[in-house]
Amino acid sequence: MGAFGISSTEITNREFAEFVTETGYLTTAEQSPDPALHPDIAPDELVAGSAVFVSPLVSGSRQWWQCVSGANWRAPEGPGSTITERQDHPVVHVSYADALAYADWAGGDLPTEAEWEFAARAGLDGARFEWGDEPPEQGPVKANTWQGTFPLENTAADGHAGTAPVGCYNPNAYGLYDMTGNVWEWTHGQFNTADPNSGLIKGGSYLCANNFCRRYRPAARQPQERDFSTSHIGFRVVFRNQDHATSADALDAAE
């Protein structure tokens, strides 16, 4: 692994909007899914939209993920919702292809799994979390995760029940924000190398809870279909050619 720069925060709605305005890009969630990639789903059910977390206390269902027609990066909860007051929140409802398209436009790339984990650990090799070994629910608030019993009770003790504006919590030793929680982040990795649609996300999200999902550890790995998007997945960009930069600060890191 050679030297690379990485955006200090997750890419925001404001930044993604600049990309869409300049290029006219249409995200995966704004298009009907490819039936060839989803042979087990009836073609008439493959409509433009994305997966949205809905508490069972609200939906009355034991399934907390709902495929919402019309949900996309502009309308995170579906038709009628907006990002007007969330310009500095991480963009969500982006697929692997969407994240890669933005990174290419910005002159960068998505991080490899090794690059992402190296940046998240910030020199604390062997530590359980990016800040050390103390769990996120102990001591001062460290990241945007779920507090309470998932999926029924979120006390929002960290100040946010959903996504948070980037940079709300202390950075790690490399000056990077939200490498733990807030939203999952796409990497170039594959969870199942035999499946071209098998992606790999890292970092956990605001839905990761102590009683259910502790995959906000730098070492944790989570599979995700590359052509799918959700309300808790975003990304950040790496720059291996330091001639390029984004509005986010970059970190120079080398093994």
Q: Parse the chain into domains and list their residue ranges.
A: 1-14+90-255
Residue 27: per-residue pLDDT? 98
State percent of the chain over pLDDT 90. 70
Q: Are 253 and 9 in contact (CB under 8 A)?
A: no
CA nearest 40: which of 225, 181, 185, 246? 225
**Which amino acid belongs to residue 244?**
H
Beta strands 184-186; 233-234: pairing state = parallel
Residue 218 has pLDDT above 80, yes or no: yes
DSSP β-bridge partners for residue 22: none
CA–CA distance, 75 with 86 (Å, rounded to integer): 11
Residue 243 has pLDDT above 60, yes or no: no
pTM of the model: 0.90
Q: What is the mean pLDDT of the chain?
A: 90
CA–CA distance, 114 with 5 (Å, rounded to integer): 14
DSSP states of 10-64: PPBHHHHHHHHHHH----GGGSPPPGGG-TTS-GGG--SEEEEE--HHHH-SS--
CA–CA distance, 87 with 15 (Å, rounded to integer): 8
State percent of the chain over pLDDT 70. 95
Residue 15: per-residue pLDDT? 98
- Residue 236 — φ and ψ, nearest 5°? -135, 175
DSSP β-bridge partners for residue 234: 185
Residue 60: per-residue pLDDT? 74
Q: Are 121 and 129 in contact (CB under 8 A)?
A: no
Residue 241: per-residue pLDDT? 74
Mean pLDDT of 231-247: 78
Condensed to tens digits (0 to 9), the pLDDT of residues 110-158 reads: 999 999 999 999 999 999 999 999 988 888 999 999 988 888 888 888 9
Condensed to tens digits (0 to 9), the pLDDT of residues 165-213 reads: 999 999 999 999 999 999 999 999 999 999 999 999 999 999 998 878 7
Q: Are 184 and 255 in contact (CB under 8 A)?
A: no
Q: Are 243 and 254 in contact (CB under 8 A)?
A: no
Residue 255: per-residue pLDDT? 37
E strand or H helix that includes residue 225? strand 222-225
Residue 251 has pLDDT above 70, yes or no: no
Residue 247: per-residue pLDDT? 36
Higher model confidence: residue 25 or residue 243? Answer: 25
Domain 1-14+90-255 carries which CATH code?
Answer: 3.90.1580.10
Residue 29 has pLDDT above 90, yes or no: yes
Neighbour count for residue 112 (Cβ, 10 Å): 16
Find the Cα–Cα–Cα–Cα dihedral 36, 96, 74, 19, rounded to 10°. -120
Top mean pLDDT of 28-42, 59-73, 197-211 is at: 197-211
pLDDT band at 242, cuts 50/70/90? Answer: low
Q: In the block, which residue shows the tokens 């993920």?
A: 65
